Structure 1
Amino acid sequence: MNFNFKNCFIELPSFSKSAFRPPEDCSMCLGVDDVVRLANITAEEFEDKYAYSTTPVIVTDATEGWRALKEFDFNFFANFYSEKKMGKQINDCFYFAYKSGLKSLQEVFNMDEARANLSGQPWYVG
């Protein structure tokens, strides 16, 4: 069976996507008064002590050495999601505008350079 439908039978407004989510169970956070801050922890130590504990943790040096910090920028994603490469698919991607005024990913990646570099009106993609 192929369940890849290209068109929806009934289009719902984008704001409705979060309206039909089940309620969140926040009981795991009862009694949490502090957040553990860690550095220099191995993946094995993290998994053994924290990964499945529901204890909130901030690993302060977790991104050191990540190539993504040097390579991922606005131009990287604009090229990756370009209409030339993705065609109509770019319009089918889930996009949350959050008060940006940008109605689609296509509008995001066509914004002017000043705004793209965060010196214009703020924007967010989610």
Structure 2
Amino acid sequence: MVPFGDERTIYVISETAYEEAAGLLKPSETQRPKRFEYYQSSQDIVLFQKFHSSKVPEARVIRNKDNEWGFYLANIQKWLPFEEGIRQYQLKLVYPIHQPTLEYKGYVELDIPKDAVVL
């Protein structure tokens, strides 16, 4: 710690301490999920995509422990293969996963009253 100016201080470290800190603070590689882990191109589905039918109010696409794609039926807590869900339960998409790109329209300003309770 070295005085710098009237009221400030700076910190000086040795060359070896600098090299040690540089070694400890190296940026690490990010581990982003691979596309095949959350998207199945043959069925054009993604993990957790919502399906429904007259027989099933809600089903989500998941993969089981054997990496097989299928549906999780929350109301009966059951996993079933993808083809069975489409054939037997007539499950249909709730929303498409492919959307057009939104046009950039600039910034948004939000006015929040001072006394508003915001969660």
Q: Please indicate, yes or no, whether the TM-score normalized by the shorter chain is above 0.5.
A: no
Q: Which has the higher contact order (CA 8 A, sep 6+)?
A: 1
Tell me the TM-score normalized by structure 2: 0.21
| Structure in which a larger fraction of residues adopt helix | 1
